[in-house]
Amino acid sequence: TGQAGAIRHALARALVRMNPEFKVALRKAGYLTRDPRMKERKKPGLKRARKAPQYTKR
């Protein structure tokens, strides 16, 4: 989940700060790479980021 991944990332960064020798192993395991995915913003005229109001033909 998002929070667990953030905690894992923070702990990995703290370990590297305490002992730089861990950097290569943690980088190889993928713990030092931040997940860049973010919540998409809500757009005007839509109910959510992509959900549009129901279309009525008549």
Q: Please, are residues 27 and 52 in contact by the beta-carbon 8 Å criterion?
A: no
Helix, strand and coil content of the chain, in percent to the nearest 5, comes to 45, 0, 55
Task: For 13-36, write each residue's pLDDT tens digit.
Answer: 999 999 999 999 999 999 999 999
- Between the alpha carbon of residue 42 and those of residues 1, 48, 55, the distances in Å are 22, 5, 19
Q: Within the chain, what is the greatest distance between any pair of CA atoms?
A: 68
**pLDDT for 2 beyond 90:** no
Average pLDDT over residues 2-18: 95
